[in-house]
Structure 1
């Protein structure tokens, strides 16, 4: 049998571990160390980015095949990703400043509007709805009107502290 002191220590340990357990805000969906929100609004890439930042999040950054499959399953319409080549044409990076480590472009993309002046510069990335998860990214004009997906990290970042 355990002593009252041992049980008290175990209880304190479990309570602390439960309090440390991270969860997502209401309406968000958890996958690994992030929470995701599919917006109910639509707007430009900048509007989506600002909405995510207002929620202490960022437009989604995809850095694994598993995350790509998860985000693709969340997606019910074409949606903005955090992907853009606004600073340098052809150099795609995420809204949080990180470089691409994985790519799931639809065949023939990105094509910057295929040099069609009517389409303008296509500097922002979005996720096609109902395409195969391993090839559903496309570049689009940043002022196009789409929904977006926000991502909020909830686990401590490795290497910090």
Structure 2
């Protein structure tokens, strides 16, 4: 049971009546709200993260043009490939390819997700176990200090990092170009700064409950 994306309706907005829920944390949350309301599809605005509930599956002849929208038929509040049983309030997905940080961020964003953002000790422990189970040495995190050295912020640059689990002596900005954070197995799954252009395994995250 998944949210089934209808790529044929990308950027098409139904002319029929929609229930606008408002800003949500993720497309998963939009799907959950749809499921609770017994609607059959959603229209999700990827930039503004606005959730619209639809009581039908629209077709292009009944729609108007609206950029940056995605359409899903709703069978549950979970997108295929995401696991919602690992981290308490999140659903996560491991991408198959190792990617540079910017490409990893873009790939997660294309699904309405973000790079992994560890904001508590419980989430840290859950991710450690996940990495051990998957045999992962390093994974990207959604924090960086690209704009100002030492000022670590979340992926969109708006929020300073609250919870911190950098390894002793890190971040050290080795060779002056380490601006993206990883969880590093060899550091006991503590954090390290790394060059953003290097290919690293990527975990995408969607918050599954609550409003932003």
Category of TM-score, reference length = shorter chain:
0.7 to 0.9
Q: Does 1:20 align with 2:36?
A: yes
Q: 1:105, 1:123 → 2: CA distance?
A: 13
Structure 1 residues not aligned, in runs of 5+: 1-16
The structure with higher relative contact order (CA 8 Å, sep 6+) is 1
Range moving further from structure 2, 20-29 or 83-92: 20-29
SS at match of 1:41: coil
Query: C-alpha deviations, 1:4-36, integer Å up to 9, x for none?
Result: xxxxxxxxxxxxx9x339743232121222111
* Structure 2 equivalent of residue 33 of structure 1: 89
* Structure 1 equivalent of residue 191 of structure 2: 137
1:28–1:61 Cα change, 3 Å: same
Q: 1:79, 1:153 → 2: CA distance?
A: 18
Q: 2:107, 2:79 → 1: CA distance?
A: 15
Q: 1:156, 1:88 → 2: CA distance?
A: 31
* Structure 1 equivalent of residue 102 of structure 2: 46
SS at match of 1:29: coil
2:148 to 76, 88, 95: 88
Q: 1:140, 1:131 → 2: CA distance?
A: 13
TM-score (norm 2): 0.58
* Structure 2 equivalent of residue 150 of structure 1: 204
Checking the alignment, whether the CA contact within 8 Å between 1:83 and 1:95 is kept in structure 2 is yes
Range moving further from structure 2, 69-78 or 59-68: 69-78
Give the length in aligned residue pairs: 135
| Structure with the bigger percentage of strand | 2
Q: Does 1:59 align with 2:115?
A: yes
1:122–1:130 Cα change, 3 Å: closer
Q: 1:29, 1:66 → 2: CA distance?
A: 17
The structure whose Rg is larger is 1
Checking the alignment, whether the CA contact within 8 Å between 1:38 and 1:74 is kept in structure 2 is no
